[in-house]
Structure 1
Amino acid sequence: MKTGRYTLLLVILLLGFAILACGCLNAEDNVPPSGDPDKTLALADTAYEQGRYRTASALYDQAYGEYTSAGNTSAALEARNGKFRAKRMILEFPYNLSGVMTAINETFPDVAPVRKAGWIVPGESQQIVSDSEVLYYEGTVKNIYFHNPDLIRARMAALGHTAIYDQAAAVALGPVPPGDGPYVNPVTFEGTGTLTVPGDTLPPNGTLRIWLPLPIETDSQREVAVLSVEPARYIVSGPDTTGDIGLVYLEIPLEEVSAGDLTVSTRFRFTEYEQRFTIDRAKAGVYNTSDPLYIAYTSPGDNIVITPEMAAKAREMVGSETNPYTQARRIYWYIIGNNAYSLAPHLMLDTAGIPESSYMLETGFGDCGTQSMYYAALCRSLGIPARAIGGYQLLPGVEGTHFWAEFYLPEYGWVPVDVTIAEAADWSFNATPGERESFRDYYIGNLDPYRFVIQKDVDIPLDPDPGDAVLFSTVHQKPAVLCDTCTEDMELVAVEHWKMEFQRV
């Protein structure tokens, strides 16, 4: 499990603890000349451990140059990867106090200053400290909307519609489609994923390793077909659409790449079914605790953790209830009522080794992925098999990456739960209380057909194993890209230059 510096980093995040390093470097501008790359690397490692990420980044970069000049490629790679980690720790935190208050004042000019001041205190905002300066999360302003129903409803009223809720309500509040269930109302999509790597980020030699996401076969996602992968001559393994994660792996020799941008693409087709479960709690079934499925999905993972604190929280939510179906419902309704949707700094959490479910338990902050992992962790703590499943939601006009959860009942199979979409009812400016309640109730045991499933759970390892490379390991909704000879962080380049497009067929 990812533990590492979790306790220290959580203190830094929540309390704004200023790291004091007497006699040490406090800003990247003060990086001294060295000439001894081993000494520079040691200083960089020390700065990183002390939470001086800007200083660490500059020192790692200096060490990289010194090792490169000395012809020590393996040490240069270590220094480069250190720079990537240091930058990832604070990349999502661009604001200092002045900057975040400017953004808040510009967005909410009519809100009283005392109310605005309460939005940025530790515990009410997401913060990190680097080089003795408190930095604020890039999603702070958006999270203020999500945490204040009066503000988000006013915003949606001004726009004249409520994104996500309006699209999903047509299914959640609409007539029950014909069919016996639980899989009804099939919708077929064709999708195209395109990665365009800028030519100026690619060196003249080395190998670009790329894992591209694909759809997988599940109970609700069927008839998966990979129509093309280009350039096909560089495929090393896959396409694989029948396992726990959909991937195709390519290795591209950069010596063979022509001048200009490099384009890699996939095209595929799949049919997604709406899920409508009608569950009798008395017939939920009895778990076979020796079943490999039960063991796998009630065990802790890197981000779905089982701790005494998590188990205590789960017990608080369910009380004396012992029926697994009713327990799963109580957890769902508790999260909806007590944990408002929030954008979260996934890159920092992954880099620091902070489990997402623990982060939400401790801070209350979490988006669809964090909420789904938290839900699964709470269920697993009670002995209910659960997982965080994801890829994209394809609600017309608001398509985007998404995660949701599932829990397992022996007599029914995997039952869907989408806490995040359910909370969209709270954003609507014109939904009635009854409509909000019905909408939220739909997303426990039911799921709209506008989904694209890439992976059956979080923390599924890549195949082939990337080794100890600097990789975003939690989810793989976008390409994983590695290159030992590149000076740019190619994972971040890929995120910026990846595009998914879908059309209903």
Structure 2
Amino acid sequence: MTSFVSAQTRFTDLNELILKGEFTKAKRMIDEKIHSGTLSYPEIFELEFEKERLERIKLDFNKSSDDVLKFINKYYPDLEEKDLIKWEEDGSLEYKIIDGKKWYFSRAASNLFRINKEAKKQKELIEGYKKDQLDVFLEDYIPQVLEESANSQEIFVKPVTFKLNYTVTVEANAVPDGEIIKCWLPFPREGHQRQVDIKFIAANVDEYIIASNDNQQRTIYLQKKAEKDQPTVFNIVVEVTNFNESNLILPELIKPYNTQSGLYKTFTSERIPHIAFTEKIKKLSENIVGDERNPYLAAKKIFTWISENIPWAGAREYSTIENISDYCLTRKHGDCGIKTLLFMTLCRYNGIPAKWQSGWMLHPGEVNLHDWCEIYFEGYGWVPVDQSFGLIDSEYEDEKYFYLGSIDAYHLIINDDYSSTLFPAKLFPRSETVDFQRGELEWRGGNLYFDKWDYNMEVEYK
């Protein structure tokens, strides 16, 4: 199964070239259209981004068959290139034909041993079974949270304070000497009972702008002048206290929705392109949810099905995927955000309000970007759901389904929506068009994509 790259333009002839993987011809056609003098500014902007998107896809699909075999041969020593076909056809090895040559996704080889059950068993046979350290931590930690909540009769318990030292480093000579680099870094959101006492401590520039909490993807804006042969470094230090949130949700106590309310209409609607009620979504929903009309029980069925049928795997950059929820359903795997958007789409289709939330996971030894969401139950309000963490390995129902309505304190909230406008507004298309966790950078000559800079989060637990 080749990785389907759908064109995102209004030009049929261009779309056909892109769908065929003829990227060089497509970029040539884009240049011709731009210089024809017949296009509006929005059309030119659209085509410029499509040209950039093709380059991003090539960065994601950068492994040859030799590269893939070198990794896989550690577990299948006698495997040859012809043997890869079975995994390509069943979707376990993601590849794309670009300009007539087969290129594999940069994480295709490692993903194989997460996606394919046979390959996963083979890896365990060679290396032995190793339980994920995050799972070990959570299986010990979640019972403590539930016990504390039950004993105190409080929803928000066991606060943890983090001192966050976040750095973005732009490579030397990414822009000409003396040019100003503009930088948007993630900043914790306020207004959540489980995330409080946000304290800005320092930045390595004298002037900065912290976006108001009205911005659903919250930023701190900095800028610096580039120096020849020197990396440009942006750094902030922030402190924040987060609580575990433990909600005891009783399905029979959920009240009927006010289907005429703005909240209900907004958060149960499609949001093209990533939340779309396609025929595949409708059919899957019928198979999973059936006639269940209780919102919690319907969400539970969706949560369970995705947990059991959609394994976690490293993901392509979201800006290269036309419809993320459909991609998840088609490929049968996804990372945290991809799985979350499938969950949100199925919830919304079933009349359960769902909205995006994301930021960082700050668990000891497991600090990383992370996405999850919230769903709304009348009588309870918005409650968190981490579809990526999914089902906890426990015989107890409240532990097993902890992440369907509850969440641990190690989730740092940066975003309460996706694809929102940053403040101040960027002039050029974003590197990450959906999420916002790493940051965004640009200069007067254009956007600075992820291959031009690195990021690092250091966490001190207080």
Establish whether TM, by shorter chain, passes 0.5: yes
- The within-5 A match list for 1:37-436 is 51-53=21-23, 84-109=52-77, 118-147=86-115, 148=117, 149-151=120-122, 153=124, 157=128, 161-174=131-144, 176-177=147-148, 178-217=151-190, 218-233=192-207, 235=208, 237-241=209-213, 243-252=215-224, 254=226, 260-301=230-271, 302-347=273-318, 350-351=319-320, 354-422=322-390, 425=393, 434=395
Task: Flag structure 2 segments of 5+ consecutive residues without an equivalent.
Answer: 7-12, 36-43
Shift of 1:155: 7.2
Shift of 1:188: 1.1
Letter in 2 for 1:307: T
- The separation in 2 between residues aligned to 1:196 and 1:60, in whole angstroms, is 35
Shift of 1:331: 0.5
- The separation in 2 between residues aligned to 1:424 and 1:251, in whole angstroms, is 43
- The separation in 2 between residues aligned to 1:312 and 1:46, in whole angstroms, is 28
Shift of 1:113: 9.9
Letter in 1 for 2:329: L
Question: Percent sequence identity over matched residues?
Answer: 23
Change (3 A) 1:464 1:165: same
List per-residue Cα deviations over 1:226-283 (Å, max 9, x = no partner): 22233132x3x424346422212234455xx576222211111111111111111111
Shift of 1:144: 2.1
Shift of 1:141: 2.3
Equivalent pairs, count: 438
1:60–1:82 Cα contact (<8 Å) kept: no
Letter in 2 for 1:323: N
Shift of 1:83: 5.5
Change (3 A) 1:113 1:212: closer
- The separation in 2 between residues aligned to 1:181 and 1:155, in whole angstroms, is 46
TM-score calculated relative to the size of structure 1: 0.77
Of 449, 452, 457, which residue of structure 1 is paired with 2:409?
Answer: 449
- The separation in 2 between residues aligned to 1:232 and 1:398, in whole angstroms, is 32
1:181–1:277 Cα contact (<8 Å) kept: no
Letter in 2 for 1:484: R
Stretch of structure 1 that moved more, 470-479 or 145-154: 145-154
TM-score calculated relative to the size of structure 2: 0.83
3-state SS of 1:240 partner: coil
- The separation in 2 between residues aligned to 1:376 and 1:77, in whole angstroms, is 30
Partner of 1:490: 448
- The separation in 2 between residues aligned to 1:115 and 1:439, in whole angstroms, is 42
- The separation in 2 between residues aligned to 1:340 and 1:503, in whole angstroms, is 31
Change (3 A) 1:289 1:193: same
Shift of 1:54: 5.3
Letter in 2 for 1:290: Q
Greater fraction of residues in helix: 1
1:164–1:421 Cα contact (<8 Å) kept: no
- The separation in 2 between residues aligned to 1:462 and 1:343, in whole angstroms, is 26
What's the RMSD between the two structures over aligned residues?
A: 3.5
Letter in 2 for 1:418: D
- The separation in 2 between residues aligned to 1:219 and 1:376, in whole angstroms, is 22
1:209–1:250 Cα contact (<8 Å) kept: yes
Shift of 1:122: 4.8
Shift of 1:393: 0.9
- The separation in 2 between residues aligned to 1:284 and 1:197, in whole angstroms, is 50
- The separation in 2 between residues aligned to 1:312 and 1:306, in whole angstroms, is 10
1:407–1:414 Cα contact (<8 Å) kept: yes
- The separation in 1 between residues aligned to 2:440 and 2:111, in whole angstroms, is 28
Letter in 2 for 1:335: I
1:95–1:136 Cα contact (<8 Å) kept: yes
Shift of 1:185: 1.4
List per-residue Cα deviations over 1:414-441 (Å, max 9, x = no partner): 222222223675xxxxxxx748x77542
- The separation in 1 between residues aligned to 2:437 and 2:254, in whole angstroms, is 32
